[in-house]
Amino acid sequence: MGKKCKKEAEKLGILNLPKYTFYGRPKGLKMKFSKYKPKFANEIRNWLLTFDPATTESESGGGRNNTFMMLAPQAGIYIEIADKMAGYAVPNPGNHVFEMNIHTDKMDVVKEIVKIVNSRWEDGIVPHLDVKKIEKKFKVNGTEVINAWNQFLS
């Protein structure tokens, strides 16, 4: 499958739209061959399909690092979720961290996607962020990671 969605998003100019980045830990994983996919990715795809039936997805990577891409061309949305293993090689969500980039000019779309991911936990994603693992894997500031979620959850 490769990076078909990303190339198409680039061709459509969607990658030039504002980008919103979120980091976290998945609550659940779906294993497909040697790829671990955060379960919320399927929920986001299904939500995108409700208003853009032309939504497509592709993936790349394998083993410890996987990237999942979704493109809703009619809605002008491109989402890229990079899942990285940050611990032992077992299908344990606590051993994974992700970076999710959303390209769109629609703030309500960003809020809805954040809401989908946040709803995986009864008390929300913020208390379950493993900031140390995220900082180590993605070289980002933990305070900024938390602030990004809080900005769209309030």
The pLDDT score that the predictor gives to residue 59 is 87
pLDDT tens across 66-106, in order?
899 999 999 999 999 998 876 665 556 567 789 999 999 99
- Per-residue burial over 97-127, b = 16 or more CB atoms within 10 Å of its CB, e = otherwise: bbbbebbbeeeebbeebbeebbebeeebbee
CA 135, 141, 143, 144: dihedral to nearest 10 degrees? Answer: -120
Whether 143 has a pLDDT exceeding 90, the answer reads yes
| Closest to 40 (Cα-Cα) out of 91, 126, 112, 147 | 112
pLDDT tens across 25-59, in order?
877 656 665 567 788 899 999 999 999 999 999 98
CA 3, 70, 66, 1: dihedral to nearest 10 degrees? Answer: -40
The pLDDT score that the predictor gives to residue 31 is 60
pTM of the model: 0.90
| Closest to 25 (Cα-Cα) out of 82, 86, 96 | 96
In whole angstroms, what is the distance from residue 71 CA to residue 77 CA? Answer: 6
The pLDDT score that the predictor gives to residue 37 is 77
Higher pLDDT, 148 or 31: 148
Kindly report the average pLDDT of the chain as a whole number: 88
- Per-residue burial over 17-30, b = 16 or more CB atoms within 10 Å of its CB, e = otherwise: beebebbbbbbebe
Structure tokens at 49: 């399909």
The pLDDT score that the predictor gives to residue 87 is 65
Cα dihedral sign, 49-7-76-43: positive
